[in-house]
Amino acid sequence: METFKSSYCPNYFSIEDILATQERVPVEVETDLKNLGFLDQGADNMDLARGTKLELPYWCVEGLNKSDQSRSYLMVDIPKTFKEMFREIMSADPLVVDLHKMGPYYYEFGRHLIKLSQTEGEAIGESISRTFMSRFREILDSSQNSADTDSLKVTSKMDMLERMLYKEGQKTKQGMDAWLTRKTGLISTSAMVAMHRKRKANFD
Amino acid sequence: MFGEKGLELVKEAARTHHSLIPFNEDVVRQTLEETRALWDANRTEVAETSAIGASITLRHAAIERNKRCLLAYLNHRVEKLRTMRWQFGAVLPEEMKMNLCEPEMEFFNKYNKALASYMRAVGTDLTNDNAPPKSLYIEVRVKQDHGEIETADGEVVLLKKGTQHHLPRDLCEQLVMQGVLEHVVS
């Protein structure tokens, strides 16, 4: 169960969560922001004028919003892959959508967006949980039936969370097979050692 | 843009799951420098304007971000080191040691000591028998020369590459994990 050890969001050290919060969010500047002209790479003014539209990483937006409740610097929009049009595509047929392309951490990023938008947050939350529910069946099914075949074709459309589940499913299947063929007593070389040896073999 | 160096570290950590690559001292230093520069900029701006504006808030967010990236990177490596203790055993291979930085080395040694004293206190070797054993003796094939080992009843066995032996399980489990021996099903 090693892969689940570093679970997502509330975990400060989670590598996945850091990468997910790097995703960009479109925002519109609400008041003139002094000395922040560098955020808009197209223009070279010192200040950021009101009404400028730009895309910022999620952590920037969160940082700018949370510190001061009384006034907000930014009007936050939702990335287009979470907008209503895409949500409709999701509800039409969740299985064919390439989630990896829509952001490798689709669900995690979606969960962060819920906090960000009052108007659409709820709809996003519902959409991602529904998408996940219908896709999960497929993940479970394919992971149980392709224990040792090339899985790239199946996993290429999955987001990182789904890939993790898929791998975990395959492992369970392998464990079950080993048990059925009475091979559980077999000791094998540790994963890191095996990797190390492979590397070393290249030098010789 | 702020926070890019820190992100580089995190990406590097995400890439390397089964191995430990050299400590990226260069980028770590650059991240620290960036953070320090941001901190100084904030201090001077607060001193000048004595109000907290957007740029200070943004810089502060970047400082927090850098901190998180750095700590996540270090934590990832320490986790790796911990698993390495269980997989490689108490002594790391020379090439692996070169990938560690000084404090990491120290951590590994201290972890080693803590684990050893705990195992002494409870009186068992915790690294043995990770899975419940099925038999007392197992059949192993030697994958690399390892010299001689002595079994509990005083018999000396020479582990020479390519030979096959029937040995007590507890004696060779470690060696199988370290890749010296291979467990074969007879």
- Which pLDDT tens digit goes with each residue over A98-157? 888 887 889 989 888 888 877 888 899 999 999 999 999 988 888 888 766 666 777 888
Q: Is residue A68 left, alpha or beta, with left meaning phi > 0 and alpha meaning psi from -120 to 50? A: beta
Strand partners, A133: none
CA angle A119, A64, B26 (to 5 degrees): 130
Tell me the pLDDT tens digit for each residue of B106-159: 999 999 999 999 999 998 888 877 777 878 888 899 988 888 888 888 888 898
In the prediction, which pLDDT does A204 show? Answer: 42
Which residues of A make CB contacts under 8 Å with B?
A: 2, 6, 12-16, 18-19, 22, 31, 33-36, 39, 57, 59-60, 62-64, 67-68, 73, 183-197, 199-200
Please report the residues numbered 79 through 108 in chain B whose beta carbons come closer than 8 angstroms to any beta carbon of chain A. Answer: 79-80, 83-84, 86-88, 93, 95-96
**Average pLDDT of chain A to the nearest whole number:** 81
Integer angstrom CA distances of residue B13 from A41, A43, B5, B33, B159: 29, 34, 13, 20, 37
**Average pLDDT of chain B to the nearest whole number:** 88
Q: How far apart are CA A138 and CA A146, in angstroms?
A: 12
**B57, A73: Cβ pair inside 8 Å?**
yes
When CB atoms are compared, the residue of A14, A60, A194 closest to B58 is: A60
